[in-house]
Amino acid sequence: MSRPHTIGRSVLAIVLGLMVCVLPVQATSNGVPAHIQNELRDARLSGQGSFRWFGLKIYDAALWVEKNDFQPASPAATKLVLDLRYARDLYGARIAQSSIDEIRQLGFGSTEQQRVWLEKMTALFPDVHEGTHISGVYLPAQGARFYLDGKLLGEIGDAEFARAFFAIWLDARTSAAGLRKQLLASNP
């Protein structure tokens, strides 16, 4: 008779353990994820949208900005957070390569800088699974800080890299113009 009870507890422990592994990024009482609230004094959601490639959803993106500081005409002037929630499994090295391809298309950095940036991103970006969040924090004149599911992943202390990286989504010449428009939706 105690055997089924023990199995029930084991199953419950496994289910609870799995739930902890797939919980979304923790949000504060105002709905802002805690790690974003820690980065931005007075965070507000600027906009959000999805990125699709040949019809396949790759990720959902959300742009968080300071309530009164953000200037959409010059996004590189203020601290901001771009949160990507992946819709499928991807290798970190592939994310890094896609990022450098976009940076190259936008014309940022020399060939040598792009090589160094690719190495740094490849070393930093992990493989992701459906539901994984990677949040990038743009640090004006400093670089970029990255979080994986709300936990600090690392930092790339290169202001030119950060400007180029966030241009992938925010530059007027981005290959994802529709997503850019959605990310900047609440800005005049």
Give the residue ranges of the chain where pLDDT is below 70: 1-30, 69, 71-76, 187-188
76 in any annotated domain: yes
Q: Give the pLDDT of residue 31.
A: 85
188 in any annotated domain: no
For the chain, how many structural domains are there in total?
Answer: 1
Q: Are strands 133-139 and 143-148 parallel, antiparallel or unpaired?
A: antiparallel
Q: Give the pLDDT of residue 4.
A: 45
User: Exposed, middle or buried: residue 55 (CB in 10 Å: 0-12, 13-18, 19+)?
Assistant: exposed
What CATH number is given to the structural domain containing 171? 3.50.70.10
77 in any annotated domain: yes
Cβ-contact 130, 86 below 8 angstroms: yes
14 in any annotated domain: no
11 in any annotated domain: no
Helix (H, G, I), strand (E, B) or coil at 27: strand
15 in any annotated domain: no
Q: Give the pLDDT of residue 78.
A: 86
Range of the domain at 40: 28-183
Place of tokens 């740094």: 120
Radius of gyration of the chain (CA): 19
Has this prediction a pTM greater than 0.85?
no
Q: Give the pLDDT of residue 53.
A: 86
10 in any annotated domain: no
2 in any annotated domain: no
Cβ-contact 164, 103 below 8 angstroms: yes
pLDDT in tens, 41-75: 889 999 999 999 888 999 999 999 988 767 666 66
